Structure 1
C-alpha cells in the first residue's frame, strides 16, 4: 500500500493539512506544478508528491479535526474507512473471505506510542497498533518485523503502510476466517485476544509460600482457550 494510494483514509473531498508547516492540500485545485491535475483526491496523489510548503511526506498530512475531537476516534475512523474501501473494491468474491463478516474496529484504546485494538475484516482478524506519530515506523517496509512490548509480553509485529496513518504494526490473530460463524463470533474472538494481549502476567509465587493444594487449584477460574481459532500464530517472542 503506497502513501498516495486510495487507501489513504480520507474522503475524496477532504482537505488535509501538513502537520509540520500547516500547508493544506485542496483536491479541487490539485497541484499542477507537480503534475497533479485539479480534482485529484489526496488518496490518489502519486508516490513522488511531497508537501509543497516544506517537502514533508504524505503521511505527515492529517485531516483538520474540530476543537475537542478525539484523535484516536479520527484515526480509527480513517483505518476503518481504508479497509472498507479495500473490501468493496478488491475483496468481493475472493475465496479467503468470509461473506458473513464485515469490517469493524474492536476495543481500541490508548497504549504506548499510539492506540491498540483489533480489526475484523472478511479476510483477516488482526491486532493493530496505530502510531500517534505517522512517521514512527516510516523506515520499515511492508512485511518488516518490529518488536513491541505489551503488558502480556513482547511480540513481533508486522509493518503495514496505510496512507496518512503511516506504518501500522499488526499481529495476525486468525489463520482462516471461515472458522467464524458470524460477526458476533469474530467480535468475541477479537475481544478475547485483545484481553490476553493486554493482560499483565500473574505474579510469581512468594518465596516460602507452600504450593497450592489440588482443591485450591480446582477453585481457580479456567483461562479461555484460543486453540480453536489458532490465535497468536507465532507473534509472541
Structure 2
C-alpha cells in the first residue's frame, strides 16, 4: 500500500499555482474564508479544499519547475519527497518497517500514460506508474483496480491517490520488508522485478535444463511473477 497525502513534493513555504486559472496559494496567508488559518502549508490543506479561483482540485496545483528540468525527474523527486515525509512523520518505529531501508526511487522510464519504476520504502516495495496528467484517474478511489498493459503482459494495478501527483497506479511487489538485509539487497530485488515487468515475452523455444542454483541463490528471497505481480490473464 502507498500512503498518500497532499504534501507530495511541496516545501512548507511553496506557493503553488492552479494550472487552470493561475490562482496562487500562499501558505503565509492561508485561506481564512475556507477555515484555513495563516501558516498552513499546501500539504496541510483539508481534503475538501478547492481552488478559490475556479473550484479546481488540489492536484491541479503545481510549482514551476526550473528551466530545462525533465518532467519525469520532477515528478519522481516529488514522489520521493512525499514518502520521505511520511517515513519521518508517520512510520518511524512502526514494527512493519525495516530500519535498514530508506526511501528510494529507481528505474523510472516513460511508459504509456506516464512513467513507471520502483519505489523502496522501509514498509513496502512497489512498482509505481506516475501519470503525466494528474487528473487521469481522478474518478478512481484508493484501492480501485486499473488494468494496464506492460511489455510482459496485462496487469491489475491498484489506484492510490498521492496529493498533487494525482492518482498513481501501483503493483505491490513486497510488503514483508524484513526479508531484505539492506538497501543494496532491496535494490537488486526491485531491478529484477522491474526487468520482469518491462521485458517482452520470448517466443516459445525448447526448454533447456536450468543451471544448478548456488547456495547463495537458494538463500535469497524468491520474486515470483505469479505471486508478486498479480498478473491478469489475457
Residue 204 of structure 1 and its aligned partner are, at CA, apart by 4.7
Residue 182 of structure 1 and its aligned partner are, at CA, apart by 0.4
In structure 1, the partner of 2:176 is 176
In structure 2, the partner of 1:15 is 15
Q: 1:26 to 1:192 in 2, by over 3 A?
A: same
In structure 2, the partner of 1:235 is 230
Q: 1:2 to 1:173 in 2, by over 3 A?
A: closer
In structure 1, the partner of 2:42 is 42
Residue 219 of structure 1 and its aligned partner are, at CA, apart by 9.3
In structure 2, the partner of 1:137 is 137
**Structure 2 counterparts to residues 182-197 of structure 1, below 5 A:** 182-197=182-197
Residue 177 of structure 1 and its aligned partner are, at CA, apart by 0.7
Q: 1:45 to 1:200 in 2, by over 3 A?
A: same
Q: 1:92 to 1:99 in 2, by over 3 A?
A: same
Q: Number of paired residues?
A: 225
Larger Rg: 1
In structure 2, the partner of 1:125 is 125
In 2, the alpha carbon distance for the partners of 1:219 and 1:55 equals: 59
In structure 1, the partner of 2:116 is 116
In 1, the alpha carbon distance for the partners of 2:171 and 2:147 equals: 11
In structure 2, the partner of 1:162 is 162
Question: Which runs of 4 or more aligned residues in structure 1 lie more than 6 Å from their structure 2 counterparts after TM superposition?
Answer: 224-227
In 2, the alpha carbon distance for the partners of 1:39 and 1:2 equals: 24
Q: 1:219 to 1:190 in 2, by over 3 A?
A: closer
Question: Does structure 1 conserve the Cα–Cα contact (< 8 Å) formed by 2:172 and 2:229?
Answer: no
Question: Does structure 1 conserve the Cα–Cα contact (< 8 Å) formed by 2:171 and 2:229?
Answer: no
In 2, the alpha carbon distance for the partners of 1:172 and 1:159 equals: 11
Residue 175 of structure 1 and its aligned partner are, at CA, apart by 3.9
Residue 37 of structure 1 and its aligned partner are, at CA, apart by 1.7
Question: Does structure 1 conserve the Cα–Cα contact (< 8 Å) formed by 2:119 and 2:128?
Answer: yes
Residue 62 of structure 1 and its aligned partner are, at CA, apart by 1.1
Bigger mean CA offset, 164-173 vs 34-43? 34-43
Q: 1:193 to 1:145 in 2, by over 3 A?
A: same
Q: 1:2 to 1:117 in 2, by over 3 A?
A: closer
In structure 1, the partner of 2:76 is 76
Residue 94 of structure 1 and its aligned partner are, at CA, apart by 1.2
Runs of 5+ unmatched residues, structure 2: none
In 1, the alpha carbon distance for the partners of 2:8 and 2:106 equals: 20
